[in-house]
Amino acid sequence: MAEGGDANAPVTDLDRFYSMIAALAAQPLQAQELREHTGGSSWPSRGVYFFMESGEFRSRAPQSPRIVRVGTHAVSSGATSTLWGRLRAHRGGMDGRGNHRGSIFRLHVGAALLESEGNQLATWGIKTSAPGNIRTVEAVHEKRVSAYIGRMSVVWVQVPDAPGPGSARSLIEKNAIALLSNRRDPVDPPSASWLGRSSPREEIARSGLWNLNYVDVRYDPGFLDVLERHVSAMTA
């Protein structure tokens, strides 16, 4: 529930949020599968991204794809990461290789894949770096993760502000996740077959999002005004 206690607010705000996502998706290069993108695409330096998955739709609007992950980058003062750099880390290389220790998104998807099949990979998610012999053992699974994430479509909104925790990108990311999760009782729940339901992280399984941070906080509906300004700048 949004601040103020209006039980209908999340539904109204979700409809407004998804109307902006639809406006972005109608723009050139938007809503394509991540595997189709390269660094040569016309990427803004900074922005917020939204992932959608095949087979996942809103319950209130069955023709509208459901957002399954929200993210951004460079939210620490002095950070230099770019929007494409972050998305490439999630996608992995064109040859399918990837590094889940450099992408929490990859870590979560890989863990859910293992859990859904009753398999184990003892080193998955252990430590922030790994020697070559361990990376070799993990390589096949990393390619499976790359294939799964690569099939997701992505839209983004350009938000060209300075890196830092007070950035508009951070505001949009936090509140979009909070709105979508509705404190883990989402208005638009995941389908019964969604891979995230097999995640060992209850936050993912219940929220319908490949996110952990902000799924349990209240959203501030004022973020929609901020998001709308940036969407309008791209779609005018």
To the nearest 10 degrees (0 to 180), the angle between helices 168-181 and 223-235 is 110
CB 66 within 8 A of CB 18: no
> Does residue 2 lie in a domain region?
no
Q: Which domain holds residue 175?
A: 9-235
Looking at residue 72, the DSSP 8-state letter turns out to be -
Q: pLDDT tens per residue, the chain (236 residues)?
A: 454 456 567 999 999 999 999 999 999 999 999 999 988 767 999 999 999 999 999 998 999 999 999 999 999 988 999 999 999 999 999 999 999 999 999 999 999 999 999 999 999 999 999 999 999 999 999 999 999 999 999 999 999 999 988 999 999 999 999 999 999 999 999 999 999 999 999 999 999 999 999 999 999 999 999 999 999 999 98
Which pLDDT belongs to residue 1? Answer: 41
> Does residue 121 lie in a domain region?
yes
Of residues 202, 149, 171, the one with CA closest to residue 179? 171
**Alpha carbons 129 and 145: distance in angstroms, whole number:** 18
Cα R_g (the chain), whole angstroms: 17
> Does residue 4 lie in a domain region?
no
> Does residue 1 lie in a domain region?
no
Which pLDDT belongs to residue 2? Answer: 52
> Does residue 97 lie in a domain region?
yes
> Does residue 112 lie in a domain region?
yes
> Does residue 123 lie in a domain region?
yes
What is the CB neighbour count within 10 angstroms for residue 27? 14
Lookup result for tokens 């790994």 = 130
Query: Edge-to-edge strands of the sheet including 65-71?
Result: 32-33, 153-158, 47-57, 65-71
**Alpha carbons 190 and 206: distance in angstroms, whole number:** 8
**Alpha carbons 1 and 146: distance in angstroms, whole number:** 35
Three-state secondary structure call for residue 51: strand
In the chain, the number of structural domains is: 1
The CA distances from residue 234 to 17, 23, 28, 30, in Å, are 15, 9, 11, 11
